[in-house]
């Protein structure tokens, strides 16, 4: 079958001991690695705290303290009970496989605490790659990969449903996977090979098992598989299992022969889509339903109890007099009468979490008797829980309950206080879990070392890289930050753009600060067209701002922060703008998808196309990246994802072609090395065919590699160097937040010797990439005690 290996074909190893991805990468790099020095770097996440949709939680039923989280764009995590933090499991995924950072489902083997499985794939769009099952036998320390002949949708509709991937509790060799558009699939060798269950009902691939959002219709398909453990014996495949399809028609199906044949469950409700199914210790099942799969919309729903022994269905919806979606349900593994569920999409006034101790006959709202501790992530005080798509009760501690939201995970350690008339306390459990997507980064020469524009969270002035802080001071406070820039000669002067969603209301969607981002005020007005946000640049002297609003047909110029606007000449729609870092009269614009370049030498009044060799080289290149030189007027650096990296001027001359670079994802400039007047160049892309992060101290004459195969973070989208700290860089990932990196100085007291990466491909006689284990954090380097 296309896309599925035959049983005689060897597995494709993604990370597996000495045959890890490090060897694959360095073998490709071997011809050039002798000429490029490898510099050990220590990377750490810029602490924001969560920030994205954690779409699922899974506890291991037989080992205390072992549980996992999956996210829609930021990979998967395992909770480290000893360290009290999340450990990222998928940072090894590199740029070409960035689509695998969306985890559509997660499963553990109930009979083997070491085995964990990820159904990976972010999108089902034509340009997205096929999905894969990533399987691990050591709790996610290493993974092997089985490619699938269909796509997954970890960031699409229904991503909070589940789990669509399940392991047989009696025979760990057997797994089932419910796909979005290709029906039901089965593996009998620990997920190494997969075959389609052709007998599964056709409704799973019918139009009714799809849903539509403002962009397109998406297949949702089979959203959960649930085994009936009472029907099996250890060492033998379980005979009875259920599968649910996201359709308002007949949706729940049962097999009593190990998945070979299927039939609908009698008496089931119709008219709503199921999204979760859990089994109680007494054999009863509980299902949550919504009119839509979520998370974009869900306006109606229900919670039902199903008792297979009597074929009885009972509706147990907590609110029967209010319309609301219901996006999750769970049961205490040791007390089948204790249930929890939550509304979904009930934004007015807010979503509610419910608890029952009598099997769903009566429910108690939890949040009115809850207190939330915002100390670990101060910004969460401005957010109420929403998108509660997964709720879990710890199988070893009934007081320990977790639920996910659109921005992270809340956890309680005293849930049963509710039954005693007390207060339930919640803490934001996101240490180590970062899932923001930064859309803009700046590192000015004074003030805070890093400021960001963040998708869904506006943006931050990062005064302390290791402490979660409040977003930019409101007003204004944007739902999405899209662009941020500073005036090079007046670096305390900063502009940013963003946009608002309902119910945030209307506001000017651009703001400026004259104190380095501590306080902000909105522009006086917006241009006469467009939808705000978009791309924004401020002149080097701060006297002019150019704004290309989203969906505007023109680019606009203001000299008074929005009191007056003038459409610039020579530019159209869909462009990004930037300012020259030296000459206040120069601005630039470019089309990311076509590579077209434009320049202005009169303060942004008129723009003209940049032709010549530079324009010709850029033309037709998609995913174009352009930056102004930090140290020269009229000089640009231009790169693209599949092209070379060039330095040229605004007359169109190519001043330098950087040899060996064949792909550019992001680049930036940092403080010069001691004794040099050349800014350090940082590049995320391909050098001599090898993907990685590189730096050059001598204007590209030689390069040093500064990442390793365990820490790739998908595709890097934005990168800036620090102009005040030699070697420091900041970069935005495709779903794992923002990272900063520093060279590991083995001579510095307290830093310690870099430890060799265990996956160093020694057999290939290739150099080890040093990577320190738990090196000091930014705060610790300023004087705190170093962790052991």
How far is residue 163's CA from residue 102's CA, in Å, rounded to a whole number? 14
d(CA 471, CA 481): 10
CA angle 372, 73, 692 (to 5 degrees): 125
Cβ-based neighbour number of residue 331 at 10 Å? 26
DSSP conformation letters of 226-269: EE-GGG--TTS--S-EEEEES-SSS-EEEESSTTSS-EEPTT--
Q: Which of 72, 291, 580, 707 is catalytic?
A: 72
Catalytic residue among 394, 430, 456, 707: 456
Element (H, E) at 618: helix 612-618
The 10 Å Cβ neighbour count of residue 142 is 21
Residue (of 526, 460, 528, 468) closest to 494 by Cα position = 460
DSSP state of 741: E
Between β-strands 408-412 and 217-219, what pairing exists: parallel, antiparallel or unpaired? unpaired
Q: What whole-number distance in Å separates Cα of residue 222 and Cα of residue 184?
A: 7
Length of the chain: 788
Dihedral pair phi/psi, residue 95, rounded to 5°: -60, -45
Place of tokens 């569920």: 341
Tokens of 376: 């670990």
* Pairing mode of beta strands 608-609, 624-628: unpaired
Q: Is residue 72 annotated as a catalytic residue, yes or no?
A: yes
Paired tokens of 331:
């049961």
Other Cβ atoms closer than 10 A to 426: 24
* Secondary structure (3-state) at 660: coil
Cα 103 from chain centroid (whole Å): 10
Q: Are 353 and 303 in contact (CB under 8 A)?
A: no
- C-alpha span between 547 and 185 (Å, rounded): 50
Q: Give, rounded to a whole angstrom, the gap between the first and last alpha carbons of the chain.
A: 51
Active site residue 677: no
Burial 379-416 (b: 16+ CB within 10 A, else e): bbeebebbbbbbbbbbbbeeebbbbbbbbbbbbbeebe
Q: Which residue has the tokens 């650096």?
A: 637
**Residues annotated as catalytic (active site), given as ranges:** 72, 456
């Amino acid at each position: 079958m296309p896309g599925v290996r035959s049983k005689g074909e060897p597995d494709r190893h993604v990370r597996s001991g000495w045959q890890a991805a490090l060897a694959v990468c360095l073998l490709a790099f071997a011809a050039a690695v002798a000429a490029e020095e490898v510099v050990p770097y220590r990377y750490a996440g810029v602490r924001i705290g969560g920030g994205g949709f954690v779409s699922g939680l899974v506890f291991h039923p037989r080992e205390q303290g072992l549980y996992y989280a999956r996210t829609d764009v930021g990979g998967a995590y395992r909770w480290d009970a000893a360290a009290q933090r999340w450990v990222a499991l998928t940072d090894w995924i590199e740029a070409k496989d960035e689509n695998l950072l969306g985890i559509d489902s997660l499963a553990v083997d109930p009979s083997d605490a070491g085995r964990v499985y990820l159904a990976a794939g972010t999108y089902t769009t034509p340009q997205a790659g096929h999905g894969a099952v990533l399987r691990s036998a050591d709790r996610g320390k290493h993974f092997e990969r089985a490619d699938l002949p269909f796509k997954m949708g970890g960031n699409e509709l229904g991503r909070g449903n589940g789990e669509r991937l399940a392991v047989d509790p009696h025979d760990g060799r057997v797994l089932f996977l419910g796909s979005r558009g290709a029906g039901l699939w089965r593996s009998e060798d620990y997920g190494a090979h997969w075959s389609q269950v052709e007998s599964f009902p056709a409704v799973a691939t019918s139009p009714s098992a799809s849903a539509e959002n403002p962009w397109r219709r998406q297949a949702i398909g089979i959203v959960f598989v649930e085994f009936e453990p009472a029907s099996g014996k250890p060492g033998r495949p379980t005979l009875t299992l259920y599968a649910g399809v996201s359709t308002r028609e007949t949706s729940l199906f049962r097999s009593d022969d190990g998945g070979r044949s299927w039939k609908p469950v009698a008496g089931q409700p119709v008219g709503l889509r199921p999204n979760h199914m859990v089994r109680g210790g007494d054999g009863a099942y509980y299902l949550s339903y919504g009119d839509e799969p979520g998370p974009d919309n869900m306006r109606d729903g229900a919670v039902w109890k199903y008792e297979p022994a009597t074929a009885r269905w009972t509706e147990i919806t907590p609110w029967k007099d209010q319309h609301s979606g219901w996006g999750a349900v769970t049961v205490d593994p040791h007390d089948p009468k204790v249930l929890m569920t939550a509304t979904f999409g009930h934004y007015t006034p807010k979503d509610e979490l419910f608890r029952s101790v009598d099997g769903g006959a009566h429910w108690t709202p939890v949040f009115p008797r809850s207190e939330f501790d915002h100390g670990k992530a101060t910004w969460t005080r401005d957010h109420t829980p929403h998108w509660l798509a997964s709720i879990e009760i710890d199988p070893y501690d009934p007081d320990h309950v977790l639920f996910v939201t659109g921005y992270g995970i809340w956890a309680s350690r005293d849930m049963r206080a509710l039954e005693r008339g007390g207060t339930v306390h919640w803490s934001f459990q996101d240490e180590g879990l970062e899932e923001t997507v930064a859309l803009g980064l700046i590192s000015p020469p004074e003030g805070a070392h890093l400021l960001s524009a963040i998708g869904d969270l506006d943006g931050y002035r990062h005064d302390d890289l290791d402490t979660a802080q409040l977003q930019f001071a409101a007003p204004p406070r944007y739902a999405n930050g899209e662009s941020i820039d500073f005036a090079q000669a007046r670096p305390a002067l900063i502009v940013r753009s963003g946009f608002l969603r309902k119910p945030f209301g209307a506001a000017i969607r651009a703001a400026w600060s004259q104190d380095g981002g501590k306080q902000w005020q909105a522009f006086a007005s917006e241009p006469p067209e467009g939808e705000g946000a978009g791309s924004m640049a401020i002149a080097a002297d701060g006297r002019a701002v150019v704004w290309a609003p989203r969906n505007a047909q023109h680019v606009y110029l203001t000299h008074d922060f929005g009191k007056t606007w003038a459409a610039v000449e020579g530019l159209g729609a869909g462009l990004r703008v930037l300012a020259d870092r030296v000459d206040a009269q120069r601005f630039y614009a470019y089309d990311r998808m076509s590579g077209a370049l434009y320049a202005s030498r009169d303060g942004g009044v008129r723009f003209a196309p940049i032709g010549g060799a530079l324009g010709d080289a850029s033309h037709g290149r998609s995913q174009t990246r352009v930056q102004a030189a930090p140290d020269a007027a009229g000089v640009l650096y231009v790169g693209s994802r599949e092209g070379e990296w060039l330095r040229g001027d605004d007359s169109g001359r190519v001043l330098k072609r950087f040899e060996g670079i064949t792909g550019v994802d992001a680049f930036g400039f940092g403080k010069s090395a001691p004794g040099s007047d050349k800014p350090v160049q940082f590049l995320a892309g391909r050098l001599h065919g090898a993907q990685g992060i590189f730096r050059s101290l001598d204007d590209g004459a030689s390069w040093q590699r500064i990442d390793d195969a365990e820490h790739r973070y998908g595709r890097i989208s934005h990168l800036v160097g620090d102009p005040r700290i030699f070697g420091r860089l900041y970069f935005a990932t495709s779903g794992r937040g923002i990272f900063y990196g520093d060279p590991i100085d083995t001579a510095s007291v307290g830093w310690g010797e870099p430890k060799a990466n265990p996956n160093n491909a020694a057999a290939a006689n290739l150099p080890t990439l040093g990577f320190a284990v738990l090196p000091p954090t930014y705060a610790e380097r300023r004087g705190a005690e170093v962790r052991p």
